[in-house]
Structure 1
Amino acid sequence: MGFYELPKDERATLVAKIKDDILKDLANSTHLKTLQYFSDEDTYIRKSVYLAIGKIFFEQTGLQNKIIQLLDTLFKDEDFKVRQTVINTAGEIGKKQFETVQFLFDKGLFDNHHSPRNAVIGSIKKMGEINPTPVLNWAKTYLCHQDKEIRREICHGLELRGRKHPEDILPLLQELQHDKTKRVRDTLVHVIGQISYKKNCLQKVISHLKTWENKALIADALEEIIDVHHRYRDFAVMTQDQARQYIENNYSIE
């Protein structure tokens, strides 16, 4: 039976058991039960695990070294689900202590399976929203990496921070404006659109785009911005027509 097929009280009991089992493993310097949870087929079981370890890390500081050693060990597992859960766990820790788990993201970016790499993207999003300075400084070191997928993943990971603070990520996105790889370029245009529709964001995006050089990319980004204001019309602060008018009044492509 899946996690969300259980009644609410049974889910709470299971979450408590997961946390207790992890604490026992840490006390005994083993990871047998923890590994079972990390490799569980149910996504929500694995989520319960990484949330539990994140809480333990900050509640019981004396176990922090053991937890980092545990994550380092489990990241060597052949099961991609285990490595994915390691990265998601590191993301919970990185919300407050990114430097402690940075080495896991350095590894996760280059994983041979897409699931741990996607977990890196998701973790950059959630860490960057709460703990931006070290996360963005780290991300910047990979923006010009020779591997196009690394550049794309980093670009995508910047998105969530940009939805509230586009000024923080626009200088980083600007580094990718001349990227010739279609997947990277498409992701860049997508992210520009995603950081444009919240309150006070379009103004910042347009202002910064005026400093960019790649007019063809800017044209595509402006089209995406206008389209996003329609697709996200229930959440956008401006209507599509208002966004189009703002762009016409404040930006002209020569």
Structure 2
Amino acid sequence: MGFYDLSKTERLNVVAEINTNILNDLKEVQTENILTYFKDDDTYIRKSAYLSIGRIYGIHIGLRPQLINILEKLFLDADFKVRQTVINAAGEIGKSDFGSVKSFFDRGLFDEHHSPRNAVIGSIKKMGEVNPVPVLNWAKLYLHHEDKEIRREICHGIELRGRKHPNDILPLLQELQHDKTSRVRKTLVHVIGQIAYKKGCIEKVIEHLKCWENKELVADALEEIIDVHERYSDFSALNQEQARQYILDNFNSIHQ
């Protein structure tokens, strides 16, 4: 029976049990329960486990070195689900203490399996939203990596911070404007659209795009911004026509 086949009360009991068993593992310097949860086929069991790791790290300061050591050992596991969950756990820790888990992301970016690599993207998103300075400084190191997938993943990972604070990531996005790889370029245009539809954001994005050199990419980004205001019409500060008019009124070079 899957996690969400259980009643709400049963799910709460399972989460409490996971937390207790993980805490006991840490106190007894063992990994039996942690490993069992980290490799579970149920995504929500694994999620409950890595959220528990984050809570324990925040509360039990004395267990932090032991917790990091256990994550290091589990990160060597052959099961990609375990490595994926380690990265997600590191992401929970990195919301407040990125320095202690930075190495997991340095290695996770190059994992042989896509699931741990995707976990890196997800973790960058959630960490960058609440702990942007060290996370974005780290992301800058990989913006021009020789591997196009690394560049694409970094571009995608910093998106969430930009949805509320576009100015924080626009300088990083600007560094990718001349990337010649189609997948990177498409991700860049996508991210520009995603950070432009919330209240007060289109103004910042448009103003920043005015100084970009790659006019062809900028034109694609402007079209994406207009399209996003239609696709996300229930969540956008402006409707599509208002967004289109704002661009016409404030980005004169679109006519050139």
TM-score range, shorter chain: over 0.9
Specify the alignment match of 1:81 in structure 2. 81
- Secondary structure of the residue aligned to 2:101 is helix
**Structure 2 partner of 1:187:** 187
Determine the structure 1 residue equivalent to 2:203: 203
* C-alpha distance in structure 1 between counterparts of 2:82 and 2:44, whole Å: 13
Deviation readout 1:14-67 (Å, 9 max, x if unpaired): 111111111121122110111010000000000000001100011100000011
Bigger shift: residues 134-143 or 6-15: 6-15
Residue of structure 2 equivalent to 1:103 = 103
Inter-partner Cα distance in structure 1 for 2:17 and 2:241? 53
Separation of aligned partners in 2, 1:58 and 1:206? 39
* Cα distance in 2 for residues equivalent to 1:168 and 1:17: 40
**What is the CA–CA distance in structure 1 between the aligned matches of 2:24 and 2:238, rounded to whole Å?**
53
Give identity over the alignment, percent.
69
Aligned to 1:66: 66
* Alignment root-mean-square deviation, CA: 0.6
Number of residue pairs matched? Answer: 254
> Which residue of 2 is the match for residue 250 of structure 1?
250
User: In the aligned structure 1, how far is the partner of 2:127 from the partner of 2:34?
Assistant: 24
Q: Helix, strand or coil: the match of 1:96? A: coil
DSSP 3-state at the match of 2:56: helix
Q: TM-score, normalised by structure 1?
A: 0.99
Shift of 1:9: 1.2
Q: 2:61 is aligned with what amino acid?
A: T
**What residue number does 2:227 align with?**
227
**1:156-196, Cα deviation, whole Å (9 max, x unpaired):** 00110000000000000000000000000000000000000
Cα displacement (A) at 1:220 = 0.5
- Match status 1:26 vs 2:26: yes
Q: What is the alpha-carbon distance in structure 1 between the residues aligned to residue 201 and residue 17 of structure 2?
A: 44
Query: How far, CA to CA, are the matches of 1:234 and 1:8 in structure 2?
Result: 30
Where does the alignment leave 5 or more consecutive residues of structure 2 unmatched?
Answer: none
Residue 8 of structure 1: how far off its partner (Å): 1.2
Runs of 4+ that moved beyond 3 A: none
Q: Unpaired runs of 5+ in structure 1?
A: none
- Structure 1 residue 12: Cα displacement: 1.1
Q: How many Å separate the matches in 1 of 2:215 and 2:236?
A: 25
1:60-84 CA-partner distances (Å, limit 9, x unpaired): 0000001100111101001110000
1:118 counterpart residue number: 118
| Superimposed CA distance per residue, residues 99-149 of structure 1 (whole angstroms, 9 cap, x where no aligned partner) | 110000001110011111111101111100100000000000100000000
Looking at structure 2, the residues matched to 206 and 212 of structure 1 have their Cα atoms a distance apart, in angstroms, of 10
| Residue type at the aligned position of 2:127 | M
Read off the aligned partner of 2:16 and give its amino acid letter.
Answer: A
